Structure 1
Amino acid sequence: MTSLICPPLQRPLLAAAALAAALGLAHPAALAQNGPQLNLQRIELTAGMHRIEAQVAKASQERQIGLMNRPSMPQHEGMLFVFEQPATQCFWMKNTLLPLTAAFVADDGSIVNLADMQPQTEDSHCSQKPVRYVLEMNQGWFAKKGLKAGSRLGGAPFSARP
């Protein structure tokens, strides 16, 4: 039998880490390493005649993980990031395996701007004005559907606003 002897300074750190894990307080980056988040709430959005099944990342931790570590995503699926207040939103692709396009979306559902993002990069991609929503889809999806800045998305978060 082998016993593990910890130096005195490591004991409090190990105890804190064990307590955090027991309470489910793991760091978001650590959670992302466990695999993609696939069980978020889903909503249906529309872009003209096109249907989008979007997972909703509303909580801060859900937004931080986003589409990290996901090896593939069906063409009609995406992730809608919902923020509490309109602001300049910036995204990067660290630990994200898929090439994506981010649509920065105003409260009325209109696309403010689109940004193509390359996998596993730390380049910042930002909204051109304050927005509350960002929809990530597989790269090229918006272009294939003829959607661009000024196009409008429909669905629950947008139809509920004046």
Structure 2
Amino acid sequence: MKAPVSSSFNTVFVYLLATVFAFFFSVANADMLGMTKQFSTITIDLKNKQLQVEYADTWELRAQGLQDRKSLCEQCGMLFNFGNSRQVSMWMKDTYIPLDVAFINRDGIIVNIESMKPLDTTSIPSKGKVLYALEMNLGWFKANGINVGDKMVLRVSNAAQ
């Protein structure tokens, strides 16, 4: 009559082994599929400030954005490069940090600055065609005297633009 105990133990052992295998396979698979992309950084000049921000220059990185972050340092942010000038919208799905976004045209001019609430899936549109969007902590642009009409300059090689 000891067979059922051994059978039960084997079943639990096989289940745990399968769970551990599935976990490690999914983590490895996510890395292979590029689902856990690392952001490069880029230096920008904005009015009298020089900032090093994370750079989202592919569809996958733009889709990931600042999702799942719980904090952002005071002078940190993310610059989204859309590849070509167009009307764009941003949202805050799975983003826990209140943010401001500056929409920036191909000439580096800020065309509008909007506030965004955490976890809000409302689309926040640019006011015209833009090439970039810069997300910073809520109130950062105002606190630093940066306004619509100010110019952003990228400090990168031509290949990265």
Could you state the TM-score of these two structures normalised by the residue count of structure 1?
A: 0.76
Partner deviation per Cα, 1:101-150 (whole Å, 9 max, x = no partner): 11000111110101100001101101010111000000100011111111
Alignment of 1:100-139 (within 5 A): 100-139=99-138
CA distance in 2, matches of 1:102, 1:60: 18
Letter of the 2:69 partner, please give it. Answer: R
Residue in 2 that maps onto 1:152? 151
RMSD: 2.7
- 1:156 to partner: Cα distance: 2.8
Structure number with bigger Rg: 2
Residue 42, structure 1, aligned to residue 41, structure 2: yes
SS of aligned partner of 1:64: helix
Residue in 2 that maps onto 1:25? 33
Question: Sequence identity of aligned pairs in percent?
Answer: 33
CA distance in 1, matches of 2:114, 2:74: 17
Unaligned runs of 5+ in 2: 1-9, 16-21
Number of equivalenced pairs: 139
More helix by share: 2
Unaligned runs of 5+ in 1: 5-13, 32-36
Residue in 1 that maps onto 2:69? 70
Conserved? CA contact 2:40–2:54, under 8 Å? yes
Residue in 1 that maps onto 2:87? 88
Distance 1:22 1:123, change over 3 A: closer
CA distance in 1, matches of 2:31, 2:75: 36
SS of aligned partner of 2:97: coil
Residue 58, structure 1, aligned to residue 57, structure 2: yes
